[in-house]
Amino acid sequence: METTRYYLVAPVTYLGAAQRLTYHSALELEAGRIVEAPVGRRQLLGVVLAASPKPAFATKPITRALALPPLPSDLHLLADWMADYYASPVSSAWGAMLPAGLTRKRRDKSDSEISPGHLPEHALTPEQNRVLEEIGASSQLCHLIQGVTGSGKTRIYLELTAQALARNQSVIVLVPEIILTPQIVGAFEEAFGPAVLASHSKLTEAERHRVWLQAMDSVTQGTPRVIVGPRSCLFMPVSKLGLIVIDECHESTYKQEQHLRYHALPTAARRARIAGAKLVLGSATPGVVEVQLAGVGRISYSKILQRVNNIPQSQGKILDMRNKDLFTSSKFITQQLLSAVEDTVSSGRQALLYINRRGSASSQVCSDCGHVTTCPNCLLPLTFHADLLRFICHHCNFRMPAPAICPECNGSDLRLLGGGTKRIEDELVRLLPHARIARLDRDSATLAHLKSVYSQLRQGKIDILVGTQMIAKGLDLPTVDTVGIINADTMLHLPDFTAAERTYQLISQVSGRAGRGDRPGQIFIQTYSPDHPAITAAASSDFDSFAARELEARRLLGYPPYVYLLKLTIRASSREAATSAAEKYAAALKRRTGIVAIGPAPAFLEIQRGSYHWVITVKSKNRPLLTEIAHSLPDPHWTADLDPINLL
Ligand SMILES: [Zn+2]
Ligand SMILES: [Zn+2]
């Protein structure tokens, strides 16, 4: 007679409260097997968690087990940890881990032989050797490498990967966005050939599924692999994980903002801990949270201050926009920057002009003294709302009419920050009619356009590139001599606790585009706040003093890493409904001890897809208090974001 076995199964689809269901089957199934089972009238995928004793209630049978080996056990532990740490159903964690289209049959791609790799021939620099020794000598789980742009961090990742493969261990390398960082993938493929499995956001569902199946195969065969790809690659099944690398670890793409709102850094640290692997973080401008962890000895820390080509990073020239004499032929571009661009173009070299678009959200600055209109409670910039003719604080909901004169200098030339790439492009066309100008921003950025602009730049067919964040990253062009930041304040005066940090990072990144060839290049930073520490420190590449000041400010104002944050957002069909629900809940939260609740206030983007969004920010030194709130939201119209990377 057949034995009936019982299993606890975690559905991969969100089913409200039901997180673990019991089924029966005649099959003997190991934990980690993926099965199809009935839920109501649907057939859903689930992961077998464990065998279970016969329950008191009637069970349904498992429909079938997918012809896949069981998922590695480290992924189980990680899914449980994520569900707990981010106060989410475990089904969301599994949903984030497994590729879509799992039940589809995919044509097998024959696996080629995995051969030992070929590392680049040229010798490591003394700096690179030192960092490798420091990582080897450290007993810490996590190691932070802070290396200026062009310091050869990729080569260090390659060496560490080769060491892991030699121990028969797999490696996961996370990159912010492969489309913008093609060199790093190329470097890994060149070094490790078919051992590399690369994934990126532009792959189709079928392609991504196939990469995942190949990874699963290597688990069965015990073959080490090198996985290179975005955030989601953190969950790839691999055989004997030995190393996780997170490149450009400060990037915001490592935070998932939908469904399961997790951050890849703590999640990677947890996976590394479970697997007994090492985590290596790399960045020219790491987040101050990581710097603080290094400062208290929780992670080890290496710095590389020299570029591989030994050309020093140029000092940025700060141009004070309050000085109206600097603007002779253009309202937006100072004469000094314009002349530099002109000289660069006429000597056959290239210029990049960077504009931040996110800031077109209308903070107000006095063009005479640089004073920013700020919330008296939160000390964060107020945002102007043209429909209400009012400034609003998006944290505490403080409101005031637009001031006519500057309270600081009595000047009357108060300006809203903003101004898009198109306007600057038009201005340049007018001023430099003979230059070949191209524009790159979110609106114009299809993959094909991106590739065509890159290749035209390489061939010297473009003289000036105007763009947003898209041009700040990854561009490695030896002939860029001049870099200009049109208005650094648009980032600086966003009403958010990370604004100064983002400003420092962006100025450094954009500046890093210059001087990658044989000349140091020149960098111009236009700003109304020439004395702001984020701007002066970024201009002189003085990361340590920036980080120290920024951490002190965070400590005084009560922001991470000194408190934990929880952002609660309600979505409603009318402003009245959103406001009244938010006020009611905020009042209840304000009665609790051990936490501070701020708001409610309209979200930075109050109306999204026809719904009204209001937010409450909760702070606490005790993270479990926040997890508890996130676990017990009043109704499904609320969403919780633990450890948000901004409060916008
Ligand atoms: Zn003023
Ligand atoms: Zn406020």
252-294 residue pLDDT tens: 899 998 888 999 999 999 999 999 999 999 999 999 999 999 9
Q: Which of 556, 561, 547, 603 is nearest to 578 (CA)?
A: 603
Q: Which of 279, 192, 274 is nearest to 227 (CA)?
A: 192
What secondary structure letter does DSSP report for 108? Answer: P
Residue 404 Cα to ligand 1 middle (Å): 11
Q: What per-residue confidence (pLDDT) applies to 111?
A: 53
Residue 375 Cα to ligand 2 middle (Å): 5
Query: Does 439 have pLDDT greater than 90?
Result: no
Highest mean pLDDT among 304-308, 329-333, 469-473, 594-598: 594-598
Other beta carbons less than 10 A from residue 309's beta carbon: 14
Q: In terms of DSSP bridges, do strands 564-572 and 611-620 run parallel, antiparallel, or are they unpaired? A: antiparallel
Shortest-distance ligand to the CA of residue 601: 2
Q: What per-residue confidence (pLDDT) applies to 359?
A: 38
Query: Does 115 have pLDDT greater than 70?
Result: no
Q: What per-residue confidence (pLDDT) applies to 108?
A: 61
Label residues 104-123 b or e (16+ Cβ within 10 Å = b): eeeeeeeeeebeebebeeee
Residue % of the chain over a pLDDT of 90: 59
Q: What per-residue confidence (pLDDT) applies to 419?
A: 57
Rounded to whole angstroms, the Cα distance separating 508 from 505 reads 5
Highest mean pLDDT among 15-19, 203-207, 296-300: 296-300
Q: In this structure, which residues have their CB less than 5 angstroms from ion ligand 1?
A: 366, 368-369, 371, 406, 408-409, 411
Q: Which of 421, 425, 405, 424 is nearest to 413 (CA)?
A: 405
- List strands edge to edge, sheet with 42-52: 60-61, 21-25, 5-11, 42-52, 34-39, 64-65
Q: Which of 350, 312, 213, 226 is nearest to 519 (CA)?
A: 312
Residue 489 Cα to ligand 1 middle (Å): 15
Q: What per-residue confidence (pLDDT) applies to 288?
A: 96
Half-sphere exposure of 95 (CA within 13 A, CB side): 19
Rounded to whole angstroms, the Cα distance separating 253 from 270 reads 19
Query: Does 109 have pLDDT greater than 70?
Result: no
Residue 297 Cα to ligand 1 middle (Å): 44
Query: Does 139 have pLDDT greater than 70?
Result: yes
Lowest mean pLDDT among 294-298, 400-404, 438-442: 438-442
Cis-peptide into 61, omega within 30 deg: no
Query: Does 46 have pLDDT greater than 70?
Result: yes
- Confidence band for 361, pLDDT divided at 50, 70 and 90: low
Average pLDDT along the chain? 89
Shortest-distance ligand to the CA of residue 369: 1
Residue 251 Cα to ligand 2 middle (Å): 27
Rg (CA), the chain: 26
In this prediction the pTM is 0.89
Higher pLDDT, 363 or 550: 550
Query: Does 646 have pLDDT greater than 90?
Result: no
Q: Name residue, tokens 């640290």.
A: 269
Residue 24 Cα to ligand 1 middle (Å): 73
The backbone torsions φ and ψ at residue 34, rounded to the nearest 5 degrees and listed phi first, read: -95, 130
**Average pLDDT of the segment spanning 516-523:** 82
Q: What per-residue confidence (pLDDT) applies to 360?
A: 45
Q: In terms of DSSP bridges, do strands 170-174 and 226-229 run parallel, antiparallel, or are they unpaired? A: parallel
Q: What per-residue confidence (pLDDT) applies to 176?
A: 87
Residue 410 Cα to ligand 1 middle (Å): 6
Residue 363: both structure tokens together: 């903070």
Q: What per-residue confidence (pLDDT) applies to 440?
A: 82
Rounded to whole angstroms, the Cα distance separating 596 from 578 reads 21
- Confidence band for 617, pLDDT divided at 50, 70 and 90: very high
Residues in the chain: 648
